Amino acid sequence: MTHRFRYLLRIAAVAAAYYAAARVGLLAAVAQSVVSSAWPPSGVALAALLLLGLRLWPGIALGAFLLNWTAGVSAAAAAGIATGNTLEAVAGAWVLGQVVDFRPSLERVRDVIALVVVGALASTTLSATLGVASLWASGAVAPDALRRLWLVWWSGDALGDVLVAPLLLTWVRAARAAGRRLEAAGLLAALLLLTGLLLRNPLSYVYAVFPVLVWAALRFGSRGTAMATAVVATLTIWYTLHGLGPFVASAPTENLALLQTFLGLTAVTGLVLAAVVTERGAAEGALGREVAFVELLQTVAVAANEAPTAEHALRTAIGAVCRVTGWPVGHVYLVSADEPEVLRPSTIWQDDHRSLREPFRRVTEVTTLRRGVGLPGRVLATKHPAWVLDVTRDANVPRADAAAQSGLRAGLAVPVPVGADVAAVLEFFSPDAIAPDQALLGVLSHIGTQLGRVIERERAAEALREREALLGAMFDQSAVGIAVADRSARFIRSNRAFQEMIGYDAAELESLSHADITYAEDLLEHRELMAELARGTRSSFTFEKRYCRKDGRMIWAHVTVSALPAEDGTPQRFVGMVEDVTERKSAEAELDRHRTQLRGLAARLEAAREAERARIAREIHDELGQALTALKIDVLWLKKRIPASSPELTRKLDGMTAIIDGTAQGIQRVAAELRPSVLDELGLRAAIEWEAHEFATRTGIECRVELPEGQPALDASRATAVFRIFQEALTNVARHAAATHVIVRLGVSPNALELTVQDNGRGIREGALHDSRSLGLLGMRERAGNFHGNVTIAGNPGAGTTLTVTMPRSA
């Protein structure tokens, strides 16, 4: 059967149910042939959409149309009435389901009130309004009867919602109640007898049926109340239609109002009372469960704190859980120490009927589980609790057959976490198929966490013993010097490496303090740091200091001192880790001397290179420039003496003149690149402006320059370094940035100069900043470093690059 066919069958079933209920409702049609004072289909429609979904609205429309059309209403009017009936049910069900968090069980007062207000009072106005309007438009109703007919329609639909909808909602999905069958039969008999007797009497004693309804609400909840109310309503309407009871003595309109008031009050009062009783019972049950859970948690907490071993705590917890929850079987799986993916069974069990569960115990004791396999394996994989309604039907439970033989069905398991891992899994089983209980899982998860702390504490104690033994061996055999001092910084213990480093033996050191062996120039800093440790403002410090050996020699040491707090948190002992770095210090000093020498050589080399560039630029400009000028004069002299009859020679001489001019411009450009004269003649400020203009002319990239007023006071070598870095930065922009705009800023402070080059290009990659093959970047950093400056480059892909040069204005 296809999904679409099942859908059509459901629509047909809803339409048939609506039609049948409507036929029954027409028996009470007193104001018009299709307008009833009690309209059961409204309750049928609302319940159908709440229980089965809004997709079945075509069934309501179909049933309503067929009912009205076969009752003599025109097709157009029947369609209008069907539209109103459908909108009523859809609107009511949508608001109840999507807005007010409605529960069909009607076990909360808010659900009863929502059903009355939304379903019975509000949504029914749609059906009454569209239905009456459709009848009036078809000419079936006179205008002066519209108001009375609307009230009858609306009240009849509302009555159907409070009488029929609760009956369907509470009985369709409710579980079959066990026990109380005899009491239920007595209740029904009393209801039938009392209602029948009261309705035979024309006097208004009918409200005397309320005690029986209270009985139904107190003992059978909303389900029993809905049934009792339906019985009373059915009998009342039947007697009234046959001219019996207290609702036939007055005028028809008044009789209708009294009847609907009685039925509405009966239904609403009974449902509210049932909901109150149910909520109170649920609250009392929840309170009882909470008390039991608190006692359980207290028992486990005491066991966790007082148990001599983790196994004892686990055994106590398993027994307490089984006793409080009523789950008779409990067991612990332990994560293998060698294979963290494997769970192995333990000997920790709780079983009130061991002989009955023997098959399950035997299988469990020989069954190891891997991550994800079985109930405990799932918990190991997810690190979250797991609950199986029936383990005998779960394909991922290897012990399913044994559980079935032992009469076990529901199963749950919770992790025992230790840090981020699972150390064990607690599993429990019940002979009943029990639905998941989130509150119970929460309590058991908390118990698992407590037990995890016990295991963690036991492991920590064992690790502490091992660590103490290891630390003792490390202290004595370490190649690094270790010394322990008291609050006065007097040595109370030291290892062999420290003794050999300082030249004193253990007994001699115990008569000394740190101050006695510290180099005088380092003593003040050492005392300040030790004072901070003693005050607790820092927990440790690291620095390099000098010690005075017993033989008078001075050594350098890398020292790390940490505070060991007492129980009250105040520092009680100080541990020093001492490494002899005398050789390293000598090597660093030698390295610094070499670096200084290299930096000086690099600076002199750069100065020589700039001087050579300036000389070559002058020679090119002066000698080649003069030669080209003389050559151009000679060409012009020849051109004047060529007769007009030789135009071809004239053109040749013009070409030679152009070549000479181009060569002269090339010579000027080469000379400027080797050493721009503007830098020597006009200074750094003018040189930056000139280079920016040349860059923009050569590349077509807009270059905006922001310079300070006046010429920055720099020596020639620093100005040259800044200018060369600026040239390299513009070259990189032209080659790699794909930029359209560059901003150059030169800032000058009393002590330093800062040059910034910012482009809007593709942005430099992080890896390129540290690429050893990028000679341009290395050159810029080297030039700045020669004058104790630095170059920083920042950029993001697609957001441009910013280069900043910072350099002291003087040495």
- Predicted confidence (pLDDT) at residue 71 exceeds the cutoff of 90: no
Residue of 87, 61, 267 lying closest to 167 (CA atoms): 267
Nearest to 805 by CA among 785, 790, 788: 790
Q: Is residue 179 predicted with pLDDT exceeding 60?
A: no
% the chain with pLDDT above 70:
85
CATH topology of domain 307-463: Beta-Lactamase (3.30.450)
Dig out the tokens for 747 from the structure.
């800032």
pLDDT confidence tier of residue 810, bands split at 50, 70 and 90? confident
Q: The tokens of 143 are what?
A: 């205008």
Residue with tokens 């394996």: 377
Question: Strand 386-388 and strand 540-548: pairing?
Answer: unpaired
Distance CA 268, CA 217 (A): 11
The residue-averaged pLDDT of 502-515 equals 88
Q: Residue 204 is encoded by which pair of tokens?
A: 């208004």
Mean pLDDT value across residues 68-75 = 84
In the prediction, which pLDDT does 466 show?
83
Burial of 804 (0-12, 13-18, 19+ CB in 10 A): middle
Joined together, the tokens standing for residue 604 give 């002199």
Q: pLDDT (tens digit, 9 = 90+) per residue, 538-554?
A: 888 888 889 999 888 89
CATH topology of 1-174 equal to that of 683-808? no
Q: According to the model, what pLDDT value does residue 571 have?
A: 84
Q: What angle do CA 57, 63, 68 make, to 5 degrees?
A: 130
Query: Alpha-carbon distance 150 to 156, whole Å?
Result: 10
Which residues have C-beta within 8 Å of that of residue 708, sequence separation ≥ 6? Answer: 685, 746, 747, 748
Instruction: For residue 64, give the amino acid letter.
Output: A
- Give 151-169 pLDDT, tens digit per residue: 888 888 888 888 888 988 8
* pLDDT recorded at residue 206: 66
State residue 621's pLDDT score.
55
CATH superfamily ID and name for 683-808: Histidine kinase-like ATPase, C-terminal domain (3.30.565.10)
pLDDT at 289: 74
Contacts of range 50-53, beta carbons closer than 8 Å, 24 or more positions apart: 50/93, 50/96, 50/97, 50/102, 50/104, 50/165, 50/169, 51/104, 51/168, 51/169, 51/172, 51/173, 52/10, 52/14
The kind and range of the H/E element at 603 are: helix 582-619
**Smallest Cα–Cα separation from 489: which of 563, 388, 412?**
563
Which two three-digit tokens encode residue 772?
A: 């050893």
Q: DSSP of 18-85, one letter per residue?
A: HHHHHHHHGGG--SBTTB-SS-HHHHHHHHHHHHH-GGGHHHHHHHHHHHHHHTT--HHHHHHHHHHH
pLDDT in tens, 684-704: 778 888 888 888 888 888 898
Q: What is the mean pLDDT of residues 354-377?
A: 89
Tokens 């091992």 found at: 466
Each residue of 453-491: pLDDT tens digit? 989 888 888 888 888 888 777 787 788 888 898 888 888
List the chain domain ranges. 1-174, 178-278, 307-463, 478-580, 587-671, 683-808
User: Distance between CA 174 and CA 255 in Å, rounded?
Assistant: 36
Q: How confident is the model at residue 678 (pLDDT cuts 50, 70, 90)?
A: low
Q: Each residue of 703-762: pLDDT tens digit?
A: 988 888 776 767 777 888 888 888 888 888 888 888 888 898 888 887 888 889 988 888
Distance of alpha carbon 43 from alpha carbon 448, whole angstroms: 49
Cα gap 115→161, rounded to integer Å: 8
Within 8 A by CB and 6+ apart from 359, the residues are 402, 405, 406
Q: What is the CATH T-level fold of the domain 478-580, as seen in this structure?
A: Beta-Lactamase (3.30.450)
Chain segment 219-275, per-residue pLDDT in tens? 887 888 888 888 887 777 777 767 776 666 666 656 666 777 777 888 888 888 888
Q: Which CATH class is domain 1-174?
A: mainly alpha
